[in-house]
Amino acid sequence: MMKLRRLLALFLLLVVVLPALVAHANTISDKQKELDAIKQQMKAAEQKAAQVNQQQKSVITELNKLEKDIDRTSSDLRTIETRLRNTENELQMLNRELADTEARLEERNNQLGHRLRALYERGPISYLEVMFNATTFADFVNRFLLLKTVVNQDVIIYHSVQEEKALVAESKASAEAKQQEITSLRKQTAIQKSNLEKRSASRTQVLTQLNQDKAQAQKAYNELNALAQEVDKIIKDLQAKNSTGQGTGTFTWPTPGFTKITSAFGWRTHPIFRTQEFHSGIDIGGSGIVNRNIVAADSGTIILADFLGGYGKTVIIDHGKGMSTLYAHSNTLLVKEGDKVVKGQAVARVGSTGNSTGPHLHFEVRKNGDRVSPITYVKP
- Residues of this chain that interact with Zn ion (CB under 5 A) are 283, 362
Residues 6 or more apart whose CB falls under 8 angstroms from that of 66 comprise 196, 199, 200, 203
Q: Which is nearer to Zn ion, 130 or 289 (CB)?
A: 289
Q: How far is the CB of 296 from Zn ion (least distance, A)?
A: 19
Q: How far is the CB of 313 from Zn ion (least distance, A)?
A: 14
Q: Which is nearer to Zn ion, 245 or 285 (CB)?
A: 285
Q: How far is the CB of 283 from Zn ion (least distance, A)?
A: 4
Residue 305 backbone dihedrals phi, psi, to 5 degrees = -145, 90
Q: What DSSP assignment string belongs to 223-274?
A: HHHHHHHHHHHHHHHHHHH-------S----SSTT--EEEE-SEEEE-TTT-
* 298: three-class secondary structure by DSSP: coil
Q: How far is the CB of 232 from Zn ion (least distance, A)?
A: 14
Q: How far is the CB of 282 from Zn ion (least distance, A)?
A: 7
Q: Which is nearer to Zn ion, 248 or 262 (CB)?
A: 262
Count of beta carbons in the 10 Å neighbourhood of residue 311: 26
Q: What DSSP assignment string belongs to 58-125?
A: HHHHHHHHHHHHHHHHHHHHHHHHHHHHHHHHHHHHHHHHHHHHHHHHHHHHHHHHHHHIIIIISHHH
Q: How many CA atoms lie within 13 A of 261 on its CB side?
A: 17
Q: Which is nearer to Zn ion, 282 or 341 (CB)?
A: 282
Q: How far is the CB of 301 from Zn ion (least distance, A)?
A: 24
One-letter amino acid for residue 334 of the chain:
L
Q: How far is the CB of 315 from Zn ion (least distance, A)?
A: 15
Count of beta carbons in the 10 Å neighbourhood of residue 263: 14
Q: Which is nearer to Zn ion, 362 or 371 (CB)?
A: 362
Q: Which is nearer to Zn ion, 174 or 352 (CB)?
A: 352
Helix 123-133 vs helix 137-241: crossing angle, to nearest 10: 140
Residues 6 or more apart whose CB falls under 8 angstroms from that of 309 comprise 32, 33, 35, 36, 354, 355
Q: Which is nearer to Zn ion, 48 or 362 (CB)?
A: 362
Q: Which residue is nearest to Zn ion (CB)?
A: 362
Q: H/E element holding 191?
A: helix 137-241
Q: How far is the CB of 334 from Zn ion (least distance, A)?
A: 21
Q: H/E element holding 137?
A: helix 137-241
Q: Which is nearer to Zn ion, 189 or 251 (CB)?
A: 251
Q: Which is nearer to Zn ion, 34 or 283 (CB)?
A: 283
CA 264, 267, 269: angle at the middle one, nearest 5? Answer: 105
For residue 244, give Cα distances in angstroms to 110, 222, 301, 323. 133, 36, 7, 10
Q: How far is the CB of 65 from Zn ion (least distance, A)?
A: 42
Q: Which is nearer to Zn ion, 31 or 362 (CB)?
A: 362
Q: How far is the CB of 281 from Zn ion (least distance, A)?
A: 5
